[in-house]
A and B are shown apart, each in its own frame.
Chain A
Amino acid sequence: MGASQSGPVHLFQDLTHKTGFSIEQIKTLHTRFLYLTRDEDTLRREHLANVSDLALNPIRRQIIEAFFDKRNMGEKEKGCLQEIGFEEFVTVLSFFRPPKPHTADEEMKNIKKEKLRFLFNMYDTDNDGIITLDEYRCVVEELLSSYEIIGAENAKAITDAAMLEVANVTVGQMAPDDFYEGITFEQFEQILKDVEIETKMNIHFWNLDTMTVQCGK
């Protein structure tokens, strides 16, 4: 470890308040961070690409990008970082923390919005705040990429149908000459309001060292 001994503890305390993890969880995550970066201070894309489990994941590129996306760091800027520190690592992971029990409804709504924002940023790769048809098509193609027989027309057809549906639900009446640019964040929220994101988009950050088979959600 390159930093001084008292530094990390202080940092961890700050992170507890900022992200909502407990001290034990942050310590475990720190261990994992060091494991991923091979004891370096900052995480780069190739470190994440080395994770063997990710190799089979069809959307690994987007997942890796999400860690380096400035929009997820709580800042208002756009763009990507080249390398991130532990603080950013934990910030990104905090999007997947399950909400504490007895959370007020307002708080739940905020949490849901944050999680949806994270998802939205993953789709919207060019940072313009709108998911265009091409970006959506990219996503669908990646989802289907793990299957061998996949023609480009299939992805196109599915994407077109999906976009049509979004436009139908959110915009409703459109004159034939209007052009529907893409899905804005509000429309994204609207179409996914029935999918209970705040309960589904969670990982149990219990004991990360032991293998916990978690059966209930």
Chain B
Amino acid sequence: MELKMFILVLGLLVGSGSPDIGPNQGKCSDSLDPGPQDQGNHTLTPQSKKNFPVLSFGYDHVRLPFEISLWVLLASLMKLGFHMMPRLSSIVPESCLLIVVGLLVGGLMKLVAEVPPVLESKIFFLYLLPPIILDAGYFMPIRQFTENLGTILMFAVVGTLWNAFFVGGLLYGVCQFEGHRLVNVDLLSCLLFGSIISAVDPVAVLAVFEEIHINELLHILVFGESLLNDAVTVVLYHLFEEFSSVGTITVMDVFLGVVCFLVVSLGGIVVGAIYGLLAAFTSRFTSHTRVIEPLFVFVYSYMAYLSAEVFHLSGIMALIACGAVTRPYVEANISHKSHTTIKYFLKMWSSVSDTLIFIFLGVSTVAGPHEWNWIFVVATLILCLVARVLGVVGLTFVINKFRIVKLTSKDQFIIAYGGLRGAIAFSLVYLLNTDHFPKRNMFLTAIITVIFFTVFVQGMTIRPLVDLLAVKKKQETKRSINEEIHTQFLDHLLTGIEGICGHYGHHHWKDKLNRFNKKYVKKCLIAGERSKEPQLIAFYHKMEMKQAIELVESGGGSKLPSAVPSTVSMQNIQPKKSPQDRALPQLSKAREDEIRKILRTNLQKTRQRLRSYNRHTLIADPYEDGWNEILIKRKRMMELEKKISQMNNYLTVPAPAPDSPTIARARLASDPQAWGLKSLTESIPTIKVDLASPQSPESFNMVDEIGKKGSQSKASEEEDGLTMKVPSMTKPRKDKTANEDDDKEPQQRLMRCLSDPGPAGEEDEEDEPFLH
């Protein structure tokens, strides 16, 4: 049913988009004269007075944005559509489906006798590619990346060079042997073609690998390679392009090429790092204008990309460097909402970009000028595969001598198989000058074939292969505070042992960098007290929030891996005290069970799935939804247990300097005495948590079922599990408005919660505290 609707909508879209490129421009309805008029209207004598046009059609001046919006809409609707067909999307990766859609759209447009738009390289490189790369760079796991940097560099640089020359050289040989039609393809063209096609494409890799969830090591190896080989590709491309116009190469040129490579890659990184530091520095002063914080991150990163492109440096590496440098400092400075905004915008843009790219690939396939040559295309395909396998095997043999964790043959297979080609190669070929490269169309065809092969065949089969080979999947472990403590301890230990041995290794330099960072850089770039916050404490706060959220989500029934039901509470940990201090010990267990039961009933409607972090499943991320009141709920629960035992607060984080966002967030703004001693005499106190922000739609109340009979009226509220109390609701929801009246009963104790502390109170109206 939905499928039919989609096809209908699709048809409408394509149909409405078609009158744009056609011979009839939309100027014909300005006059009442029937029939087509030519432009020279004014030569006619005004025989009849033109009536005032009530409804006119002026399409031209909105044409460009209209078309762009149409395409974006199409892409988004496609995305929606795929997720409505779960069976299909579990077999076929999304990228394949999108290409098929592109093919269909292209075919439709051709049927309507129009020119389908081709993926223009300018649009691709300037508008479609940067969001994806920025998204990847910003969320790059730095630790794994730097640990495997040597391996990644080997694959990216040496591997790509090997691929390029192998494919280029052998293709030239094939062309020579083939004879009549291919004999004029010279060596330089072949080498250029080889260098373009040998680069693993980050867009395709991201699209496919995200769905298969392999372990982090393999993911970072293939993905890192796809990012870093951009420098090699850029240099080789420009090198061969230059030479093809000149005609000959000398040794000097080769040497200059090497120098160029260093300049391109390091220059790109430096440019990115500079912009990243600028962004971090700017974010230090944004505490009063929280709204535009995300803008700084985006604009600075985009500028980094563009600046690198001006000098023909590697734009991708600049973007990655900018994102990676910006992130630790900016995240310490910006508010939680800005962090969420950045994350969501990046994911959204990169998602749309990625979808558009694949659709356009499909459309361009239908549109683009093709020249099919069986031998060339098949040879290209085979050579690419062979080159990749040989390259990976050979390099791994060398690399394994230097690694502690060796790469097994299973790993090698996945790395080789994951070398997907994508739209970057296509766009680069499209940019080729036809004068210098008369066989450009043939190249185009070959590239499209290779791209289709890798995306379809390799993309579709990699998932069952991963299962078949039992490759280690990504571990869904949560970082616990213990692991963090031990990891830090281990770092210091290893640094110390290295110092004793006199060995200046990995840890020594990492430690030095950290120290430098702490002493100088952080003070410059992070505002206020956060600059001095130890990593352990920051981690602890983050973890508390996460646990609070997960407590709510797991209370709904589905168990998280480490959510072991236990009755271990703080009193078990503390050394034994004298018995009279522990009032009502029996009630603690019963009370806990009661609380858990109430939590469970209240949270039946909350989302229970907690999938692994994935670009396409942002909704399940526990961070964003209602962390605020959930944190408070959890704190309430913990404090409840403690109050039973010793009336001491152990787990509330003490409040240090007031302008530190994270610590202030953890601090409760409510009056802790609001439900103090009085609660002990009754069974379960009433805890009512209100939302201060419309973004977090869920909250619930724990009601005292034993004590207060008046709470029976709350039973209906409990069923809904949703209570909303916002003075200015920007997104009113029908099911919640009914509850608002019930909430105003006096026996409810309300608490205020501040979502964003500090002087930013005026930015969001929902941050207004209120207290009945």
Contacts and interface: CB of A to CB of B under 8 A. Distances in A.
A202 B505 CA distance: 11
A63 B497 contact: yes
Interface string A33-72: 0011000000000001001111011111011000000000
Contacts of B589: 175-176
Interface in A152-167: 153-154, 156-158, 160-167
B576 A179 contact: yes
A194 B486 CA distance: 12
B501 A32 contact: yes
Contacts of B651: 157, 160-161
B532 A148 contact: yes
Interface string B630-665: 000000000000000000001111101000000000
B489 A53 contact: no
Interface string A189-210: 0011011000111111100100
Contacts of B529: 149
Given A149-B532, A217-B403, A160 B570 contact: yes
Interface stretch (A3-11, A77-85, A138-146): A138-146
Interface in B501-551: 501-509, 515, 529, 532-534, 536-537, 540, 543-544
Contacts of B572: 167, 174, 176, 178-180
A143 B534 CA distance: 9
Given A54-B500, A96-B494, A165-B480, A176 B486 contact: no
A38 to B, nearest CB: 14
B487 A195 contact: yes
A129 to B, nearest CB: 18
B567 A175 contact: yes
B536 A143 contact: yes
A48 B500 CA distance: 7
A217 B481 CA distance: 24
A151 B652 CA distance: 13
Contacts of A161: 481, 540, 543-544, 651
A73 interface: no
Given A154-B653, A162-B485, A216 B148 contact: yes
B141 interface: no
B571 A164 contact: no
A158 B486 CA distance: 13
A167 B494 contact: no
A215 to B, nearest CB: 4
Contact of B654 (A35, A59, A153, A200): A153
Contacts of B493: 59, 62-63, 119, 122, 201
Contact of A168 (B405, B487, B492, B566): B566
A110 B459 CA distance: 40
A81 B543 CA distance: 40
B566 A217 contact: no
Given A51-B500, A154-B653, A174 B150 contact: no
Most chain A Cβ neighbours within 10 Å, of B494, B505, B586? B505
Interface size class of B (residues with CB under 8 A): 35 or more
Contact of B497 (A93, A146, A168, A195): A93
A171 interface: yes
A156 B654 CA distance: 11
A172 B566 CA distance: 5
B11 interface: no
A168 B489 contact: no
Contacts of B492: 57-59, 143
Interface in B119-166: 146-151
A164 B481 CA distance: 10
Contact of B494 (A201, A205, A213): A201
Interface size class of A (residues with CB under 8 A): 35 or more
Contacts of B13: none
Nearest to B584: A176
Given A215-B149, A217-B147, A54 B585 contact: no
Contacts of A214: 402, 505-506
A20 interface: no
Given A59-B489, A165-B482, A215-B149, A203 B505 contact: yes
A208 B576 contact: no
B396 to A, nearest CB: 12
A211 to B, nearest CB: 5
Given A202-B404, A215-B150, A140 B500 contact: no
A198 to B, nearest CB: 9
A29 interface: yes
A172 to B, nearest CB: 5
Given A93-B497, A157-B540, A213 B650 contact: no
Contacts of B656: 149, 151
Contacts of B506: 204, 213-215, 217
Nearest to A62: B493
B86 interface: no
Interface in A68-102: 93, 96, 98, 101
A195 B570 contact: no
A23 interface: no
Interface string B560-576: 00101111111111111
Nearest to B483: A195
A56 to B, nearest CB: 7
B686 interface: no
A203 B148 contact: no
B404 A98 contact: yes
A194 B400 CA distance: 23
Contacts of A101: 400, 406
Contacts of A179: 572, 575-576
A62 B488 CA distance: 14
Given A168-B566, A169-B564, 11 more contacts: A53-B495, A53-B496, A63-B496, A119-B493, A151-B654, A153-B654, A173-B567, A191-B483, A199-B404, A201-B494, A204-B505
15 contacts: A57-B492, A96-B497, A119-B493, A158-B481, A160-B650, A161-B544, A162-B482, A163-B573, A171-B566, A204-B505, A208-B503, A211-B504, A214-B506, A216-B402, A217-B506
Interface of A: 29, 32, 35-36, 48, 51-54, 56-60, 62-63, 93, 96, 98, 101, 119, 122, 133, 139-140, 143-144, 146-151, 153-154, 156-158, 160-169, 171-180, 191-192, 194-195, 199-205, 208, 211-217
Interface of B: 146-151, 399-400, 402-406, 475, 477, 480-483, 485-490, 492-509, 515, 529, 532-534, 536-537, 540, 543-544, 562, 564-576, 585-586, 588-589, 650-654, 656
List the 5 closest pairs (A to B, CB-CB), nearest first.
A53-B499, A215-B150, A216-B150, A63-B496, A147-B534
